[in-house]
Structure 1
């Protein structure tokens, strides 16, 4: 069940995940547990379990965060404009619980659509396929 207020979110999430998912923070680059993950499976929103990315869409962009070329489906995420920190970016939010996942940029692999979904590891859980 998705929490109805921020106090419930704080009880459900560890402090770093809460900061990223609910307060639109960012983890340090090259520090996340999924940055170098090469296992096959599904990446889910850590806040609500919504399936967000399949490992087949993951690639090493060199940016320091897990990068993907596309979500599992168009309705898995929402995109909003983010004008914070003096930048203009496309923010990626979980479509189910509105938690902040990361940002989308137009510098992904050209042969895979040219989009890079730059996502915080602490915003994700990973379900390995067997």
Structure 2
């Protein structure tokens, strides 16, 4: 699947101002405010901009950071990593491979089996719940 190529005007028409700021302008929502930071429903988290499957609720965990956190993506090819030196920090930004939407950052302080914490803005995601099994996935 090739890159999704839309103009900024198209993105602005399709996304809310907050979604646009976060996904297209590399913004960050305040901790503990996003729609999914404390969601425990089972399902698949897809890219808000293009619908690419990114994370499963099975890999979601409560990291205490105030953003949805996952220890692994559904498929490593769905996410690209870029060095991020903004705000006087050294971090690894994660973006959707298909549409380049800013998702958040990945850190090396997560749980096993990966040791990674994919810290993602809720505004970058949409949860497609499992219709058959809408149980909580973690306590």
2:117 corresponds to 1:116: yes
Which stretches in structure 1 are left out of the alignment for 5+ residues? Answer: none
Q: Deviation of residue 4 (structure 1)?
A: 2.0
Per-residue CA shift, 1:33-72, capped at 9, x if unaligned?
1011111100000000000000000000000000000000
| SS of alignment partner, residue 23 of structure 2 | helix
After the TM superposition, which residues 21-40 of structure 1 pair with which residues of structure 2 at under 5 Å, given as runs? 21-40=23-42
Q: State the distance in 1 between where 2:60 and 2:97 align.
A: 20
RMSD: 1.2
Q: State the distance in 2 between where 1:112 and 1:29 align.
A: 25
Which residue is equivalent to 1:86? Answer: 88
Q: State the distance in 2 between where 1:112 and 1:34 align.
A: 23
Q: State the distance in 1 between where 2:6 and 2:21 align.
A: 17
Which stretches in structure 2 are left out of the alignment for 5+ residues? Answer: 132-139
What's the TM-score once normalised by structure 2's chain length?
A: 0.90
After the TM superposition, which residues 96-115 of structure 1 pair with which residues of structure 2 at under 5 Å, given as runs? 96-109=98-111, 111-115=112-116
What's the TM-score once normalised by structure 1's chain length?
A: 0.96
How many residues align? The count is: 129
Q: State the distance in 2 between where 1:93 and 1:113 align.
A: 19
Q: State the distance in 2 between where 1:3 and 1:106 align.
A: 31
Q: State the distance in 2 between where 1:112 and 1:30 align.
A: 25
Q: State the distance in 1 between where 2:113 and 2:5 align.
A: 36
Which residue is equivalent to 1:43? Answer: 45
Q: Deviation of residue 113 (structure 1)?
A: 1.3
